[in-house]
Amino acid sequence: MAQTGKNISHAAELLLEGKLVAIPTETVYGLAANALNEQAVLSVFEAKQRPFFDPLIIHVPDMESICKYAELKDERLLKLARSFWPGPLTLLLPRNESIPGIVTSGLDNVAVRIPDHPLTLELLKKVGVPLAAPSANPFGYVSPTTAAHVNDQLGSKIDYILDGGECKVGLESTIVGVEEGRVCVYRLGGLSVEDMEVQIGTVELRINNSGDPKAPGQLKSHYAPIKPLFLGDLEKLLKLKDNKKLAIICFGKLNFKSDMNTVYNLSEKASLQEAAINLFKFLRLADLSGAEEVIAQLLPDEGLGRAINDRLKRAACK
């Protein structure tokens, strides 16, 4: 198990030595390495067993730092950055030569964000280098939202976990870039499309589901529990699987009873924000339960519901 604590100086020392440190953000916990150290970044891929064609996000403390590593010139992206940073927004930007190709999987753009967590912002200022930090979990599994989740899955492979408590958003960041002159969303996440469109007008969804990602988090199968997950109408799924012991992930008021199964309600009051916070936690609990399979319903496809549905569909794709 990895040592866990709030020692920012110790975390910074380890990162500058090329070691791996799990860091808290408002979205999920990240597995951080010095993004300018190719060997350290390689260790991230190895620890997660992440394929090298899946690019990473770099984290910086402020907008002034971005010009050292990428070009942020598009006025629409600038407006999004000024409106939502620090926060669950990642911008896909043209990179400069200071960012190693292993970070971007050889692509010309690098994914950049400023996280909204006081411990990690202080760490980023102290360490003085960008941190490459995908979610701190084995590749393809459910993302971690507490330090304990990280330790359970990767504790033997990392050097320190900076414990910042439970993540307050619970979904990965929304990834946005410009393609063919249009502002495009490449990954749905903790910042809703509707909130962005208030600032810059219509954006285009280019949500990849293939093995050739342009941005992190676009692979078809991802964020998945080990147990089989099925999506659909819960009552129909219950009848179809009445011989199975199930974990049920639902949303809002239930209109049926299921005394024989374990129920995880993302939000009894039908709050999409509460559902986002609970999603990965409940997927983990369902995996740890005695259930044979997991069934879940899709949420209203609006606001954060779009991102939650995206994660559920990828988790159910085997």
Task: Give a yes or no: residue 114 inside a domain.
Answer: yes
In a shared domain, residues 150 and 250: no
Q: Average of pLDDT values for 289-313? A: 95
* 221/102: higher pLDDT: 102
Query: 69-78, 190-199, 203-212, 257-266: which range is least confident on average?
Result: 203-212
In a shared domain, residues 159 and 235: no
Q: Which helix (H) or strand (E) holds 120?
A: helix 118-127
Position 3 pLDDT exceeds 60: yes
In a shared domain, residues 10 and 119: yes
Helices (H), 49-93: 63-66, 75-84
Task: Give a yes or no: residue 224 inside a domain.
Answer: no
pLDDT for 281 equals: 95
Distance CA 281, CA 106 (A): 33
In a shared domain, residues 15 and 146: yes
> Which CATH number goes with the domain that contains 47?
3.90.870.10
**pLDDT for 84-96, tens place per residue?**
999 999 999 999 9
**pLDDT for 145-173, tens place per residue?**
999 999 999 999 999 999 999 999 999 99
Task: Give a yes or no: residue 182 inside a domain.
Answer: no
pLDDT for 251 equals: 96
- Alpha-carbon dihedral sign for residues 149, 153, 156, 161: negative
Q: Residue 154, Cα to own-chain centre: how many angstroms?
A: 16
**pLDDT for 62-109, tens place per residue?**
999 999 999 999 999 999 999 999 999 999 999 999 999 999 999 999
pLDDT for 162 equals: 98
Q: Average of pLDDT values for 228-257? A: 90
Domain C-terminal end among 142, 173, 204: 173
In a shared domain, residues 22 and 146: yes
Pairing of strands 160-162, 131-132: unpaired
152 touches 77 (CB < 8 A)? no
In a shared domain, residues 127 and 56: yes
Q: How confident is the model at residue 257 (pLDDT cuts 50, 70, 90)?
A: confident
pTM of the model as a whole: 0.92
Cβ neighbours of residue 219 under 8 Å, at least 6 residues apart? 54, 140, 209, 210, 211, 213, 314
Distance CA 291, CA 134 (A): 29
Task: Give a yes or no: residue 109 inside a domain.
Answer: yes
> Which CATH number goes with the domain that contains 308?
3.40.50.11030
Position 36 pLDDT exceeds 80: yes
- Total domains present in the chain: 2
Task: Give a yes or no: residue 223 inside a domain.
Answer: no
Q: Average of pLDDT values for 251-255? A: 87
In a shared domain, residues 132 and 50: yes
Task: Give a yes or no: residue 84 inside a domain.
Answer: no
Over pLDDT 90: what percentage of the chain? Answer: 84
What token pair was written down for 227? 């147990």
Structural domain of 284: 229-315
Q: How far is CA 36 from CA 62, 94, 177, in A?
A: 17, 16, 22
